[in-house]
Every structure is written in structure tokens, then in C-alpha cells.
Structure 1
Amino acid sequence: MKTHLALREVAAPGIALLIALSIVAILQGKRFVNAQPSKPNNEVETFKGRTAENGTKEQLNNRTLRLSLTADDPSFLKIKEGDAIARGQVLIDNTPERERLDRQKKSILLQVENIKSKTIPAPVKAPAQPGASNLPPAIFSEEKAAIAQCQLKLSQAKAILEGRTPLLQSDNPQVRAEMERAEAGLQIATQKVQEQEQLIAGMRDMKMQPAILQHEEAKLRQIQSEYEQTRSALDQSKAKLNSSAIEQQQELQQLQLAVKIAESELSLSMSRFTAAQSRRELLEYDANVESIKRSQYQAQLEQEFSRQQQQYAQSIREKDYQLAQLNISLANIEDKLAQIPLVRSPRDGYIRRVKPWIGNNGRYTTTITITSNLSSKNGNSSSASPASSPKTSTNKSTKR
């Protein structure tokens, strides 16, 4: 929206100096410059006139200033007749639109601060898993030594059994010889008894003297006594032989049992050796499984870390994108704020008159008169009529 400004300065009648100053001010009116305020979106149009060489600023400030203003809505005018105004005070501004854009700007700034305040934690790489300790070398020296010892015992037991079996399976030679001697003595004693009995029977048939018969009978009894002793010795020899056979059988059984025990111990030692090998194989298998699990777990950790890095990068991109979108929206709002026309008063004074608005194609134009003192405000000023004074119009558009 363009704002058309018209400046008319009126010199006091009867004072030649003031007329000269008025002419100089009119000629220099086209050199007005715009003063920029501290905020770039509130552009201010100010007017600075150069004083004549023999004039003063107070004389220029005492003149009446007329401004022609154009706006889209008469409600944009912020002053009324009789108001005291200061230099830089807002005369025309689209306050509803400016406030609406300011609210949008504050909302966007809050969103920007909210997004910036949100901390996106960076992914932390999990520490590497400690490697599994190596298994000690497989050593079965104890089991092998036990097997060797059992094999030695078995060899010794078998050797003793093989060496003693022929002897233990036959009769004891000494006891056998004693029994044979006892049997021979018994046969001799039996023969002597028979011969003595035949002799006594023959002597009885021959009717020998009783004394001789008694002598022979006494001799028979002695021979019978020897026979009984010999038979008793034979029984003892047989008993010794039987006892020796039983002892030999027991010894043979003990030797056979010793061989079986040695074989059992050897089998047990070999079973222990096999069990130790199986435990070692199971331990190695468990170690391999644990190593594979550690490798898989480490791979999963690396995959999870890579996924977290991708998510972190995606979050950063989304955050930057949101900030960029908000900055674009903020820049658009700043542009819209800069495009809202804003007219400020070029000097201190009073609003003496505001002409009625004149509409044309949706735009409205009015003229305001600014005086510098109360007398001008009340219409008692000695200044000349605005119609009789020269007028210079300057059309300026608000900076955007």
C-alpha cells in the first residue's frame, strides 16, 4: 500500500523573514529522507527539512503540516482530532494483521525453541564382548597311567594263573607219595596179617602146643595193631591229599578271581579314559557353541548400533527439516510484517483536523493537519491560511 504525503508550509503574514524561510523550506522539501527505526519490520517515514541559513528549527516546527494518508481501511488510523502526538508516534498501522502475524511468529518461535530444546541422544556403541579363554590342552596322563597299571596287573595275574594252573590242577606230589607209601605199608600189613592167620590156622590143625599158639596169636595181634596203624596213616594221607586238593582248588579260584579283578579294573580304567575323552569333546563343543553365540551377539550389537546410528541420522535430518520449514514460515511472516504499511509522525505536535475519508476502488484517503502548539490547535494561530500558502506534495511508499 502506498502512502501519499503532501507537505504545505504557511508563512506568517507581514514577516518577510518567515516568508523567505517558507520559500526555502518548500524548495528543500523534496530532500526529505526516511529514518529507519531499530526494528526492520516497523518502517517509519520521517521528514527532515533543512533550515535556511538565517532560520531556526523552532521557526520550522511552528509551521502547520498537512499529511495525505491512504489506507485499505479507515480503522487503521490510530489518532483523532485533538490528540497530542510525539515524533515517531504511529499514525497508520494494520494492527489486527500485525498482531495476528506476531502471534504466528511467537508460536513458530516457541516451536523452534521446543525443537531445539529436545535433545536427541547419540547412539553409544556397546563395548566389545571379552573373548572366551582358550581351553587347556587335553591331557589324559592320569587315565593312561591307570590303564597301564591295570594292564600290568592283568598281565601278572594271567602269568601267575598260567604258571600255577598245571600244579594246582594235579595232586600234591609229597602228599601223594605219603599216601602211596601208606597204601604200600597197608598192603604189606594186610599180607602179614593173612600169613599170620594162615600160620595159626595150620598150627591149630597140627595141634601144636598151646604156648606156641599163644605166642603166634600174640604176634598176630601185634601185626594187626601195625595194620591198624598203617591203615590210619593211609586215611591221614588221603585226608591230607583231599585237603591239599581243596587248597589248590581255592588257590586256583583266587588266581582266576585275581585275573577277573584285573580285567575289571582295566575295563574300568578304559571306561574312565573314554569318559574323560567324552567330557573333553563335550567341553570343546560347549566352547565352540559359546564362541558362536558370542560372535552372533556381537554381530547383533553391531547391527543394533548401525540401526541406532541410522535412526539418529534420520532424527537429525527430521529436526533440521522441521527447523528449516519453521524458518521458512518465520521468514514469510517477517516478509508479511515488513509489507504492512506503517506511518509515524515526523514531529511533535497536535492533530488539529482529520478530513473525512474518501473511498476509491477499495482504498481510502484522508488528510490530517498537524500543528505545533495549542493556539494552532484551537484555531487562534496567526499563521496564514493553508489555501494561500504554497504546497509541495511528496508520494512515498513504505519500505518493505
Structure 2
Amino acid sequence: MKSIFSVLCLVGLSGLSYGCAGHLQAQTPSPSLPSPSIITSDSTSNRRSLDVRLTLSSPDDLKVQEGDRVEQGQILADRTRDRDRLEAQRRQLEIQMERLQQPIPGASPSRPVPEVAGLPPASFLSQVAEIERARLKVEQAERNLMQQQRMLDMLSSMPSASLPEATIPHETEVLEQRRREFTQAQADLQLAEAKLTQAQAERQHQEYVHSLEMSKRAIAIQQAEIQRQQQFQEQQRQEQERAFQVAQMEEKIAALNAQLFQLSAVRSPFSGTIRRIKYDGQQDQNLIVVLSLTADVGGDRDTAGDGADGGTPTD
């Protein structure tokens, strides 16, 4: 009989080591409770007494009262409020884990930089041709002017009696006309040369603007590449930060699971009667309770509910 009772006591103590824990914190597993003390009567008695030291968060965690009859495996104490609080914290962490598992958006594709249209080949053929025509006109006008001047000089050297009276005035008028034509030809030549100079200046301006556009395009391509690299680095940073946060969440969840595992309900290792409940003080905002359980021996194990004292053995 003593060996059977000793085995039952050891089974009860293994359950008590999980259910009785110290003050719970959100992230750190609680320390194990002190092992309950067992006090047995002398060998001549048919009853045994067991004192269980419990650490409770509140009086509501104690599920029995003095004089209650308990069966083997019946819950003596259960820290339901602490368990609910830890499970709520775990659910919150699991929700945060689900949010962290959302994919991180990658770098957005950069918009293509438009090409810069090339300049047509530089050509001043029309301006050069116009200058050449104007130069020929100047030369022709100059020859006409010189010929008219020589004719007028020759006529002036002749005797006036041998010439009609209107000859000299007429040739003089023709000479003035040739001078005006020569002056106009020179002006046309200068205008043609100015057009060539203007065309060359416009070409230089076009080349300058084109070089600016090419430089802007090169800068835009470089900036797009820099932005893409920055987005890629930001994505890597976010992934590293997420991995760190996930590791922290997993560590916190593991700590909560360990605390929940230690919050297993304390069950009676055998059938018996709650003889006494004593509040033995307070430790770290927890209540220390000593529960005295009188075990049934002999026939009382098969007569559950006979009374607070467990009844007397029967044949």
C-alpha cells in the first residue's frame, strides 16, 4: 500500500511542477514554483496528508474550497486569467507576423529616357551659290561701269561740233545708271555674305542646343540608374529589417509558448479531501497558498463522494 501511494504522489508532483509558476511577464518565461511539500502520517494510519504550495495570480485561480471532495486528476488550481492574457498577446504577435509576411514591393521600372533627334548634316551650298552669283554681278557691273566711263571720256575728247548735242548728256546718264547698278550689285553681295554668316551662326546654335539635350539625356539616364539602385538598396534594407522583426516575433512567441506550457492546470494526484487552505503570504504580486490534501486509502478510493473525510474502508 505504501509503494502504491508513493507512486501516486510522484505522479502528482510531476503535474504540479508545470502548473505552479512565479510572476508572469510578457516576454520572459516565469520561474518554476517551489516543489510542494508532502507530509505523511505514521505507518499505522490508513490516511495520508499532502501539503501543496501554490503560487496564484488571484484567489479566483484556486478551484477548490476547504472540505471539498476531489477525485484523482481533478483541477485544484488554474491561472486562467494569465493564460488568456498570454494567449491574447500571442494572437497579437501572430497578426503582426502575418503583416510582416506581406511581400515587399520591388523597385518600380524606370521610364525610358527619350532619344534626342540628331542634327542634319551642315550644308551652306545655297548661301555660297548666292554669294557667287552676287560676286559675278558685281564684276559684271564693274566692267559695265568702266566701259561706260571710257566711252564718255572718249566722247568728251572729240570736238563738240562733230557730236550731236544730246550725246554727252545721254552718255553721262548711262554712266550714272552703271554706277547705281554697280552699287546695287555690291549691296547684294554683302547681303549674300551676311546670309551665309547668319546660317553658320544658326548652325552653331543648333549644335549647342543639341549638345545640351544630349547632356540632359545622359544626366537623366544616370539619375534613373541611381534611383533604381537606391530603390534596390531600400528593398534590401526593408527585407533585412523584416527578417530581424520576424526573428524577434518568433522569439517572443516561443517565450509565450513556454510560459503557456508552464501554466498547465494543477491537478490532484489522487482522490481525497481538501482539509485546509492557508494563504501563506505574497511574493511579487502573487499569492502563496498552501493546500492540505488528505488522501483516501483502502476502500475509500472506490467510494468517491462519501464525505469530506473520505469515509472508512469497506470490505
Tell me the TM-score normalised to structure 1 length: 0.56
Contact conserved, 1:82 with 1:377, CA < 8 A, in 2?
no
- Tell me, yes or no, if structure 1 residue 122 matches structure 2 residue 106: yes
1:88 and 1:156 map into 2 onto residues whose CA distance is 134
- The CA distance in 2 between the partners of 1:91 and 1:149, in whole Å, is 123
> Match of 1:140?
124
Is residue 2:152 matched to residue 1:168?
Answer: yes
What does residue 275 of structure 1 align with? 198
What are the equivalent positions in structure 2 for 1:38-57 lying under 5 Å apart?
Answer: none
- TM-superposition CA deviations, 1:316-367 (whole Å, max 9, x none): 22222222222222211112222234235789xxx87322135779562332
* Corresponding residue for residue 305 of structure 2: 377
How far off is 1:250 after superposition? 1.5
Distance 1:325 1:366 in 2: 43
Ranges in structure 2 where 5+ consecutive residues have no aligned partner: 21-46, 282-287
Contact map agreement 1:90 1:342 (CA 8 A) in 2: yes
Matches within 5 A, 1:195-214: none
Secondary structure at the aligned position of 1:72 is classed as strand
Q: Which residue of 2 aligns with 1:309?
A: 232
Q: State the match for 1:331 in structure 2.
A: 254
Equivalent residue number for residue 141 of structure 2: 157
Q: Give the AA of the match of 2:55.
A: D
Q: What residue identity is the alignment partner of 2:254?
A: A
1:354 equivalenced with 2:277 (yes/no): no
Q: Deviations over 1:141-167 (max 9, x none)?
A: 111111111111111111222222110
List runs of 5+ in structure 1 lacking aligned partners: 1-7, 10-22, 44-63, 182-236, 390-400
| Equivalent residue, structure 1, for 2:98 | 113
CA contact (8 A) 2:69 2:307 kept: no
User: In structure 1, what is the Cα distance between the partners aligned to 2:6 and 2:237?
Assistant: 65
C-alpha displacement of 1:28:
8.3
1:3 aligns with none
3-state SS of paired residue (1:71)? strand
5 Å-filtered alignment, 1:208-357, equals 240-241=164-165, 243-344=166-267, 353-357=273-277
Whole-Å Cα distance in 1 between the matches of residues 146 and 196 of structure 2?
29
Number of the residue aligned with 1:71: 54
Deviation at residue 67 of structure 1 after TM alignment: 7.7
For the 8 Å contact 1:88–1:346, the answer to whether it is kept is: yes
Moved more, 74-83 or 132-141: 74-83
C-alpha distance in 2 between matches for 1:116 and 1:283: 56
Deviation at 1:280, TM superposition (A): 0.5
Q: Does 1:366 align with 2:286?
A: no
Select which of 76, 84, 104 maps to 1:99. Answer: 84
Of Structure 1 and Structure 2, the greater helix share is in 1
On the 8 A contact 2:145/2:175 being kept in 1, the answer is yes
**Number of residue pairs aligned between Structure 1 and Structure 2:** 275
Report the Cα distance in structure 1 between the residues aligned to 2:12 and 2:292, rounded to whole angstroms.
23
Question: Normalising by the residue count of structure 2, what TM-score does the alignment of the two structures yield?
Answer: 0.69
Check conservation: 1:150, 1:266, Cα contact below 8 A: yes
Report if aligned partners of 2:127, 2:195 keep a CA contact under 8 Å in 1. Answer: yes
For residues 372 and 27 of structure 1, what CA distance do their matches in structure 2 show? Answer: 15
Relative to structure 1, is the Cα distance of residues 359 and 31 closer, same or farther in structure 2, using a 3 angstrom cutoff? closer
Q: Taking structure 1 as reference, are residues 27 and 69 closer, same or farther at Cα in structure 2, changes over 3 Å only?
A: closer
The structure with higher relative contact order (CA 8 Å, sep 6+) is 1
Contact 1:172/1:244 (8 A) holds in 2 = no
Separation in 1, partners of 2:139, 2:215: 48
How far has the Cα of 1:27 moved from its partner?
Answer: 10
Q: CA 1:365 to 1:251, structure 2 compared with 1: closer, same or farther past 3 Å?
A: same
Contact 1:70 1:365 (C-alpha < 8 Å) held by counterparts: yes
Once residues 19 and 119 of structure 2 are traced to their aligned partners in structure 1, the CA distance between those partners, rounded to angstroms, is 81
* TM-aligned CA deviation for residue 72 of structure 1: 1.8
User: Deviations along 1:57-102, whole A, 9 cap, x unmatched?
Assistant: xxxxxxx9998644224653324566898x9764422223222322
Query: What CA RMSD, in Å, does the superposition of the two structures yield over aligned residues?
Result: 4.2
Secondary structure of residue in 2 paired with 1:356:
strand
- Compute the displacement of 1:249 (Å): 1.4
Q: Distance in 2 between matches of 1:299 and 1:88?
A: 75
Change (3 A) 1:379 1:161: same
CA distance in 1, matches of 2:118, 2:196: 22
1:71 is aligned with what amino acid?
L
Deviation at 1:112, TM superposition (A): 2.4
1:274: Cα distance to partner? Answer: 0.8
Local SS of the residue matching 1:171: helix
Alpha-carbon distance in 1 for matches of 2:301, 2:125: 121
Alpha-carbon contact 1:68-1:366 (below 8 Å) kept? yes
Q: Distance in 1 between matches of 2:148 and 2:188?
A: 22
Structure 1 match to 2:39: none
